């Protein structure tokens, strides 16, 4: 029943959009081309879901058909919104003329100018989504922050970390671009590199071709990693539970093959002389149906609230629900997961918007609560829609500073 309703709504929108195009394009061949393009795109999209995919997810040909369908739908939806607004106005004009004037004019006809305007506005998201698939998904950006803390040991004043998240290696299709991005991470020359989950889409084997590339990530204090919701294989239909567990063991081994220190509800100490900071890593903890394998109490056992702590937790809802007011006083949390929905508008320092903000309070960038910070990385890779628009793939660099005593 749900599918029938969805199809009915899509058909209604399609018919409505067609009316706008008919206003602009009077020639039969142009309207035929419009119909043909729509039929071909929908047909190929349906066809793609009947084809096997390498990793059983929204990748490859299927992902690109999803992207093209979304681009075309964005164009049509924009047209529908504008035309619907004009139709409401036409209804009011018709009622007004009937009640208060002697005009014999029947229902006002659509204006070609409005149809042209609607099509022009619709071209913006249409072309943007196509660009996002062509270039946007590898448009890596380095975002740098400097954060001050009262209890940061002097020996760690100026300590730098680089965070990457959501690699989703099963989606990659350009080795040259990924090599460039790994070099970009190394160029930051941070003291430590921290990866906050979702190494793959579903299967450990997705990462194996990329081990030589990502094993080049280096930092003086090493590379630490955690698991994200996609790393457990929960979104793949395995032949048996044993196969699923075998895949998970393989994924854990991949972290080792990369030379990364995988933290599964545990912590490590980074020392400078007699002083230390704690890197705490928990398994995935998310609300709204996502896996809750994370155990912060276990990972932070024995840690003094006065000690400086960096928590790696894939899903930012963990910080919002548990960590930001926790008695352990976690000064800095690093998360990912949202991808910034891979779509949005950002004007640094002034404006930031994405549909994902209606699902997550903390969805991209830096947030603070009572001197406790969380950074939500926008993600290194991409999933489902094979592109990015406005929300670019991110390498985060954070410098830790000790707040002067006079300001503390």
Distance in angstroms (rounded) separating the CA atoms of residues 64 and 66? 5
Q: Which residues contact 180 (CB under 8 A, 6 or more apart)?
A: 138, 140
The predicted model gives 77-106 an average pLDDT of 77
The predicted model gives 207-227 an average pLDDT of 97
Would you state the pLDDT for residue 17? 77
Would you state the pLDDT for residue 99? 77
Would you state the pLDDT for residue 283? 98
- 13 φ, ψ (degrees, to nearest 5): -65, -40
Start-to-end Cα distance in the chain: 61
Confidence of residue 91 (pLDDT cuts 50, 70, 90): confident
Query: 3-state DSSP call for residue 81?
Result: helix
DSSP state of 343: B
The 10s digit of each residue's pLDDT in 136-182 is: 999 999 999 999 999 999 999 999 999 999 999 999 999 999 999 99
Confidence of residue 1 (pLDDT cuts 50, 70, 90): low
Would you state the pLDDT for residue 108? 61
- 387 φ, ψ (degrees, to nearest 5): -170, 180
The 10s digit of each residue's pLDDT in 97-140 is: 777 776 656 666 667 777 778 788 888 999 999 999 999 999 99
Q: Which residues contact 319 (CB under 8 A, 6 or more apart)?
A: 311, 313, 333, 335, 362, 374
* Sheet order of strands, 275-281 included: 266-272, 275-281, 308-312, 332-335, 372-376, 365-369
Transcribe 1-62 into DSSP letters. -HHHHHHHHHHHHHHHHHHHHHHH--SHHHHHHHHHHHHHHHHHHHHHTTS--TTSSS-HHH
The predicted model gives 39-50 an average pLDDT of 89
Q: Which residues contact 296 (CB under 8 A, 6 or more apart)?
A: 265, 280, 282, 285, 311, 313, 318, 322, 323, 326, 328
Q: Which CATH architecture has domain 140-402?
A: 4-Layer Sandwich (3.60)
Domain ranges within the chain, ordered by starting residue = 2-134, 140-402
pLDDT higher for 252 or 55? 252
Would you state the pLDDT for residue 97? 77
Would you state the pLDDT for residue 220? 96
Tokens representing 182 are 């790994």
Above 60 in pLDDT, residue 303?
yes
Would you state the pLDDT for residue 263? 98
Would you state the pLDDT for residue 103? 63
Would you state the pLDDT for residue 406? 62
The 10s digit of each residue's pLDDT in 235-263 is: 999 999 999 999 999 999 999 999 999 99
Confidence of residue 407 (pLDDT cuts 50, 70, 90): low
């Amino acid at each position: 029943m749900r599918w029938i309703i969805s199809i009915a709504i899509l058909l209604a929108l399609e018919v409505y959009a067609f009316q706008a195009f008919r206003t602009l394009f009077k020639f039969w061949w142009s309207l035929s081309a419009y119909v043909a393009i729509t039929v071909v795109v929908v047909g190929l999209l349906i066809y793609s879901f009947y084809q096997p995919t390498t990793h059983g997810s929204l990748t490859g040909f299927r992902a690109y058909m999803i992207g093209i369908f979304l681009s075309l739908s964005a164009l049509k939806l924009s047209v529908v919104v504008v035309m619907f607004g004009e139709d409401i106005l036409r209804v009011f004009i018709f009622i007004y003329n009937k009640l208060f004037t002697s005009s014999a004019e029947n229902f006002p006809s659509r204006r070609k100018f409005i149809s042209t305007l609607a099509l022009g506005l619709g071209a913006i998201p249409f072309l943007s989504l196509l660009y996002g698939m062509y270039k946007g998904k590898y448009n890596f950006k380095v975002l740098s922050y400097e954060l001050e803390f009262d209890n940061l040991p002097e020996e760690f004043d100026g300590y730098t970390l680089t965070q990457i998240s959501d690699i989703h290696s099963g989606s990659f299709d350009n080795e040259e671009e990924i090599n460039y991005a790994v070099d970009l991470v190394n160029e930051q020359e941070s003291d430590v590199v921290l990866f906050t989950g979702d190494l793959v889409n579903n299967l450990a084997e997705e990462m194996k071709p990329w081990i030589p590339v990502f094993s080049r990530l280096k930092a003086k204090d090493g590379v630490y990693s955690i698991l994200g919701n996609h790393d457990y294989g929960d979104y793949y239909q395995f032949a048996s539970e044993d196969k699923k567990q075998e895949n998970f063991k393989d994924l854990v081994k991949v972290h080792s093959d990369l030379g990364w220190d995988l933290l599964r509800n545990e912590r490590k100490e980074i020392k400078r002389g007699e002083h230390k900071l704690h890197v705490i890593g928990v398994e995935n903890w998310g609300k709204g149906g996502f896996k809750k394998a994370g155990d912060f109490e276990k990972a932070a056992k024995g840690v003094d609230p006065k000690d400086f702590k960096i928590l790696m937790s894939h899903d930012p809802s963990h910080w919002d629900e548990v960590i930001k007011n926790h008695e352990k006083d976690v000064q800095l949390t690093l998360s990912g997961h949202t991808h910034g929905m891979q779509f949005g508008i950002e004007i640094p320092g002034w404006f930031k918007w994405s549909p994902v903000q209606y699902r997550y309070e903390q969805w991209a960038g830096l947030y603070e609560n009572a001197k406790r910070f969380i950074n939500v990385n926008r993600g290194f890779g991409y999933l489902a829609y094979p592109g990015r628009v406005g929300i670019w793939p991110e390498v985060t660099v954070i410098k830790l500073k000790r707040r002067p005593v006079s300001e503390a």
